[in-house]
Amino acid sequence: MKKFLFAILVLGIAASACKKTEEVVIDGNQAPPDSTISEVVIQNYVNKAYISVLGRKPDDNEKAEGIALLEQNHLAQADREAFIDIVLNKPTYNEQLVKLASYDLLESFDTAAVTQQIILFQYLLTDSAYQYVWSVLQYEIGRLQDLKAVLPDIEAENLDVPGMHRRLINNYFYDQLHMGTENFVKATFENFLFRDPTASELAQASQMVDGFNSVVFLQSGSSKDDFMDIFFQSHGYYEGQIRYLFLKYLFREPTSEEMAAYTSLYKNSGSYKLLQKTILTFDEYVGLD
């Protein structure tokens, strides 16, 4: 199973949600303003949020801005959200988001290496000795071009987080890390559901990926694309993202109540950014528990 070591690495989060959604309230996560909150708690929160989101400490101006905002109403919930919005909207957020996801799934992300591989495949398309695999080479080039475009497409808001995850597992490099259909299926379950597939899930998913009619998560399909469509729309995928963020930011598993509430929040809003901001304003994350 994929190790949870990434939970203690530099962390990334996203900008505030643009969709209206139902407010989700879990008891104990939103305390009233407290005039006795120390400046140290606020300073630590500011530093922690920048490190979690951007992988760096705030500069002097950013730190002063964050402290002033949070002190004015003694860490009131609305001020926490306003502060996190500022951090999430920093220009390097998307770069950090992609960097961390690619580290988890590909062990690294080197645009130069992707470009080099594309050039190699394009060269082979000019050699008649490889004519028998030209269609395969063209397919691989298309997937690599999609991989290379992950960051610009995220920045242009043409790609969401599930779409990013899909591209990061649907490429030549991921296939080299997890060679063979069964290894691809196992790695996908481990990376996103944090568990091995059951024997039945492995058999059915492998059949589907190999182009045969099959059923996964009660949905039928007959191709690798079908499998990925089903997988990244599944309830289990969304639950996995809740687990991922709780482990990353709070270093613990969500409770059953939290899992239900925040999975619903993410599925209904479609906003990974809203989910991240919600957790980053918990008393527990702030340091008040």
Which tens digit of pLDDT belongs to each residue from 27-63?
Answer: 555 554 555 578 999 999 999 999 999 999 999 999 9
pLDDT score at 107: 86
Task: Note the Cα 195 to chain centre separation in Å.
Answer: 17
Phi, psi of 14 (to 5 degrees): -125, 170
- Rounded to whole angstroms, the Cα distance separating 134 from 124 reads 8
**Domain boundaries of the chain, sorted by first residue:** 107-177
d(CA 264, CA 280): 18
Question: For the chain, which residues score pLDDT lower than 50?
Answer: 1-23, 32
Report which of 4, 48, 7 is spatially closest to residue 282, judged by C-alpha positions. Answer: 48
Within the chain, where are the H helices? Answer: 39-54, 60-71, 77-88, 93-106, 111-124, 134-148, 150-155, 161-169, 172-177, 181-193, 199-209, 224-231, 235-249, 256-269, 272-280, 283-286
At residue 24, the pLDDT reads 58
What are 186's two structure tokens? 């196992």
- Tell me the pTM: 0.85
pLDDT for residue 289 = 78
Stated as kind and residue range, the H or E segment containing 220 is strand 219-221
